[in-house]
Structure 1
């Protein structure tokens, strides 16, 4: 699926950085206000600086690329534009010190469904504890929501395992989070929490290893009037290496783009798969207690699924790497604030000649009485 971004005319910028006492020439692309990508040497990326990755060798591609769309879901040609970094380089968003600091603070508060207590956070989705699972994938309808600076609203797929008070967790999807991103745009994101108890968004700190030279893990999503924008992500464990790959589908019948992976060394509870998988929408209330819109702000309508936010074609990989629709496995609903948000589940539907597999309709307007 597409790089969901309306690239403005690319402006070439000369750049030099110092790495390991040598000067490495880079090409940079400014694609919008405060959005510049630097093409850096794949072997010099900061993801490899994590202390648990001292002896790690980059895996250039997964043993099997898992994501290939089975039905058209409204992907537009404009979304297929990519950042043309040269061979053996990768696109990395140029971050500010403020972003890195905010990412570290907010990572400690990032909600994951293995945690029972998360004040101000509300979720609408499904999950299964009947692991081990080797992966999960879904198609996201991407929306833009207007929220306060100290709120967040996002949609995710995730895998995770917990033992005693320890958690390993990986999620990916789209997010509106002004405190993190510095603006009210919708961005793609990936998040992990590993064996040291620390977590990280995207490439704000070391851990995630980017391998795609054209499609970054972290990118703003552009919208044109009247269009529906889709994102299709897969998280799966490599059968041979144990690394956890993030893959983005590009279009009907096209191979996926393997964005990169979270190395197995980062985790101690995911060696043999994840105990839990899930998908859904999440919001974080402001300090005043007001909860933002989830999805497109509309409650689900069972007769018109297209009117509220959608997560479709949700599938899981079982312990033997067999792929199934999520309703194939025992699944439970997670909806903690039905006054403010809703959820409906369906096996399949057809809308405007597009076929959708197992899906969620989720979301709602939020408000001041959504609970803690």
Structure 2
């Protein structure tokens, strides 16, 4: 029996203390690389530790809240799901994410890959919804998108990061998958499109499979402690389409077979139930 997951966004299990590429970087920050998405959209990639927004005092004590589901019954070789991204009212010093992820943790080390949607006005200089991906590998190295070497772009149609034009209340539906360090992305009802991949040499804990997979959402509060909305901002208490929706969640198991996520033991994660929620619909 398949499981549909309705949440006020989708989950991030791991550390979301970094942020992505900038649209027009600070004049005092030298871009590592610049990309032109369209005639009206260009972004610069900068060192994630040197982004000008990180100097703002409101970001010194930011907090992160999570809602979603995960399974720790690995090893896993991938995860995929359909979910929706919405235009949200996210403040300049707030962030709202939705993504799928795979990862492993051993002692104080983490390896993980996550991909999905992000709204980050303080760094993208726009309140638009963007696609993104992030990886963390051996020696603690990792980054967003193509800011540093590591991610190999192969698609000529879809960049790993791009703005999504949305009308309020009308979501962008997409299917995301991470298959053994290969990200495949397709728009709603469209054919799969491999965006690119990370080489196995970058990782030491997930090169033979990850111990955890999941889907979910996370928000980063401003320094004042005020958190932005997840998903479409509604609690999952009404009909199927009243709140954000994650569906057709499948996991690539230890034998590289696709299986429904509810074939494995799953764990619901809600850090702040007064603000966010998760509802499983079978």
TMscore range, shorter length: 0.7 to 0.9
Does structure 1 residue 235 correspond to structure 2 residue 178? yes
Q: Which runs of 5+ in 2 are unaligned?
A: 1-34, 55-60
Change (3 A) 1:127 1:119: farther
TM alignment of 1:196-211, pairs within 5 A: 196-211=139-154
SS at 2:39 equivalent: strand
Q: Which of 19, 30, 39 does residue 31 from structure 1 map onto?
A: 39
Name the counterpart of 1:123.
66
Name the counterpart of 1:45.
none
Q: Which of 182, 196, 212 does residue 276 from structure 1 map onto?
A: 212
TM alignment of 1:156-235, pairs within 5 A: 156-224=99-167, 227-235=170-178
Q: How far apart are residue 31 of structure 1 and its match? A: 3.1
| Cα distance in 1, alignment partners of residues 225 and 251 from structure 2 | 35
Change (3 A) 1:283 1:28: closer
Q: How far apart are residue 337 of structure 1 and its match? A: 0.6
Change (3 A) 1:291 1:224: closer
Name the counterpart of 2:94.
151
Q: Is residue 100–residue 214 contact of structure 2 (8 Å, CA) maintained in 1?
A: yes
Count residues with an aligned counterpart: 240
| TM-score using structure 2 length | 0.80
Give CA-to-partner distance per residue, 1:219-277, whole Å, 9 cap, x none.
1001146643202110001xxxxxx101012454x531100001111100012100000
Q: How far apart are residue 187 of structure 1 and its match? A: 0.1
Q: Is residue 315–residue 324 contact of structure 1 (8 Å, CA) maintained in 2?
A: yes
Q: Is residue 140–residue 173 contact of structure 1 (8 Å, CA) maintained in 2?
A: no
Does structure 1 residue 291 correspond to structure 2 residue 236? no
SS at 1:104 equivalent: coil
| Cα distance in 2, alignment partners of residues 271 and 125 from structure 1 | 25
Q: Which runs of 5+ in 1 are unaligned?
A: 1-26, 37-93, 110-117, 238-243, 348-372
Change (3 A) 1:119 1:274: farther
Does structure 1 residue 346 correspond to structure 2 residue 278? no
Name the counterpart of 1:60.
none
Q: Is residue 87–residue 168 contact of structure 2 (8 Å, CA) maintained in 1?
A: no
| Cα distance in 2, alignment partners of residues 175 and 196 from structure 1 | 26
TM alignment of 1:1-372, pairs within 5 A: 30-32=38-40, 35-36=41-42, 94-95=43-44, 99-101=45-47, 103-104=48-49, 120-224=63-167, 227-237=170-180, 244-252=181-189, 254-301=190-237, 303-347=238-282
Q: How far apart are residue 314 of structure 1 and its match? A: 1.0
Q: How far apart are residue 148 of structure 1 and its match? A: 1.4
Q: Is residue 65–residue 271 contact of structure 2 (8 Å, CA) maintained in 1?
A: yes
Change (3 A) 1:245 1:183: same
Q: How far apart are residue 165 of structure 1 and its match? A: 0.1
SS at 2:139 equivalent: coil
Q: Is residue 104–residue 200 contact of structure 1 (8 Å, CA) maintained in 2?
A: no
Change (3 A) 1:119 1:162: farther
Name the counterpart of 2:3.
none
Change (3 A) 1:295 1:323: same
Q: How far apart are residue 210 of structure 1 and its match? A: 0.2
Change (3 A) 1:187 1:339: same
| Cα distance in 1, alignment partners of residues 225 and 144 from structure 2 | 24
Change (3 A) 1:29 1:308: closer
Give CA-to-partner distance per residue, 1:287-336, whole Å, 9 cap, x none.
111111111111111x4021111111111110001111111111010111
| Cα distance in 2, alignment partners of residues 31 and 125 from structure 1 | 36
SS at 1:180 equivalent: helix
For the pair shown, the structure with the greater C-alpha radius of gyration is 1
| TM-score using structure 1 length | 0.61
Name the counterpart of 1:7.
none
